Amino acid sequence: MAPKLTDQKDIDFVLYEQLQVETLLSSKKYKNLNKKMFDMVVKEAKNLAVKEIFPTYTECDDVGVIFENGSVRVPECLRRPHQLLVKGEWGALTEDPEYGGQGLPATIAQAAMEYLTGANYILTTYPILGHGAGKMIDLFGTPEQKTLFLEKLYTGAWGGTMLLTEPGAGSDVGALTTTAKQCDDGTYEISGSKIFITNGEQNLTENIIHPVLARIEGAPAGTKGISLFIVPKIWVNEDGSLGETNDVVCTGVEKKMGLHGSPTCSMSLGSKGKCRGLLLGQPNQGMQVMFHMMNEVRLEVGTQAFTSASLAYQNALDYARQRLQGRSIKDLADHSAAQVPIIEHPDVKRMLLKMKAYVEGMRSLVYFIAFCFDKKETAMDRSQARHYSHLTEILTPVVKAYASEKGFDVSVEAMQIFGGYGYTKEYPIEQIVRDSKITSIYEGSNGIQAMDFLGRKIAGSKGAMLKSLVDEISATIEKAKEQKTLKGLAEQLEVTLSTFLKVSQKTAAALFSPQSESAFACAHPLMDAAGDIIMAWMLLWRATIANRKLDTKNAGFYQGKIKAAQFFITTLLPVTDGKLAAITCEDNPAITMENTEF
């Protein structure tokens, strides 16, 4: 029997016990929905994931993509489940039904996407990128653009991409060289090259809509002069019919460590002088428009990393329960004692509990961010909306960076459980490790996320975003103090949180001093410590709920929540105190060291 993709009981725990998602039903926006509908959506996502998508996971990796004469063929096994995703309108769960959406809360969409993403992230990039491209058109497009593109992108009938990165620019988007020249008919002639484009060319959809960053002739240098254009692979006529093929050509696909079934393309635009695009938004507004997609995709990357960790943990847990090896520690002297499942061994238990803590903490975090989006949308006043907006903004770089690093770490730990078998293709764990590594690199590397966390989210908001986060954590700490068995854990988290506040304020202040370079050198360690504290908060929050339900028939399930919180706060959070003690903006060796000294 194959191990389960994820933990349905824990998903229900987060939705209905921790976040109490049913409270959204009292809002005007979701008054026509109910819990039965929520459960039905998640159940259907589970069925689709288990029966149709997960069977493609290893085959997709084995087959890979084929590039030939400018065309890309993806693994054929993806075709049927992709058609089911389109038919089921899974690409726009939260959007208006008018454009092919289902009008669901983001929190419920997150639960559905945990199943779909965990089953095969490669497949879900199609609806994810289509939705991202569609969302930008929804927010900034003209009525005509919405009519032409929105429903096709939201339903997944057409593919979407994001043409941002260039060979000579990379993360320095302002250095891009792709140009746009306005034509007499109001369209723009686009010319340039882009790299690392997920699904830039593929044979699953009849058309691909490329959002392209380019600079209009005469525009200012840097990011202030960048505009965004809608560049279809096949031109879309005014009546919605498909016209001639546009001058957008895939020049190659990358050979990668993982995600073998996903085409990562190099793209040439206008090599024949005939690449046409439509301006999206206003001239020089490109970065503002693109960031709506970037932030959405960064949250999706956090989900990708978390679901990889969840899948790895479930595989490792299943293996540890079945794999017989060695005698129990209690029976070491008895050479006639029977072998025991390796889950009986102390170090294996330690690794599994560590994985459980991270996976469950990350699940609560990604769901909480989705819940904050919902609370912002249904807020009764501006103050409440601003509070939840602050939370989503400060947590976005954390979930992208922290989840990507800890998700990979959990996957590696899971491989250790399998021993030598984990390093072979006999089990899927080695693929999970390979596939998950990219999450810390793409969609803004984690160093960039750390600079955003420190520079924009802490210093840039004058502490307002950090205050919203600390208020939420402190509220949980106070509730936990009321429960005798959790009081010590709450107090330990409170001390670490207090230290973090002092260090973050000092580091933020250093940005406006001669020590600014040293401050940015500390950005990643500071964000890493913030991630630890957020994990401890989520696990403590879960424990406060579980602690009141130990006399139920699911006592073992709830006891596991408390043990996870105890393990993390007593054995891992003390390391965070050391991380914070090591953060210094004064003569940081990483900055004072000369290039010649490396």
Quick one: which H or E segment has residue 432?
helix 429-436
Distance CA 326, CA 311 (A): 26
Burial 349-381 (b: 16+ CB within 10 A, else e): eebbbbbbbbbbbbbbbbbbbbbbbbbbbbbee
- Assess whether 76 carries a catalytic annotation: no
Distance CA 66, CA 62 (A): 12
Q: Report the candidate in 186, 248, 236 with the shortest Cα–Cα distance to residue 216.
A: 186
Q: How many distinct helices (H) and strands (E) make up the chain?
A: 20, 12
Q: Report the candidate in 304, 268, 367, 253 with the shortest Cα–Cα distance to residue 129.
A: 304
Q: Using an 8 Å Cβ cutoff, are 191 and 246 in contact?
A: no
Determine the distance from the C-alpha atom of residue 485 to the mean position of all C-alpha atoms in its chain, rounded to a whole number.
34
Distances (CA, A) of 441 to 297, 404, 496, 526: 13, 9, 29, 19
Q: Report the candidate in 236, 230, 234 with the shortest Cα–Cα distance to residue 246.
A: 234
Active-site residue among 430, 443, 472, 478? 443
Distance CA 305, CA 115 (A): 13
Quick one: which H or E segment has residue 229?
strand 226-232
Q: Report the candidate in 150, 46, 45, 120 with the shortest Cα–Cα distance to residue 88.
A: 45
CA dihedral 481, 483, 486, 490 (to 10 degrees): -10
Q: Using an 8 Å Cβ cutoff, are 131 and 199 in contact?
A: no
- From its phi and psi, is residue 264 left (phi > 0), alpha (psi between -120 and 50) or beta? beta
- Per the listing, tokens 């360690």 go with 525
End-to-end CA, the chain: 52
Quick one: which H or E segment has residue 355?
helix 346-377
The neighbour count for residue 590, using CB atoms within 10 Å, is 10
Distance CA 350, CA 343 (A): 9
Q: Which two three-digit tokens encode residue 232?
A: 């279809």
Quick one: which H or E segment has residue 299?
helix 286-322
Distance CA 414, CA 417 (A): 5
Q: Using an 8 Å Cβ cutoff, are 196 and 168 in contact?
A: no
Catalytic (active-site) positions:
443
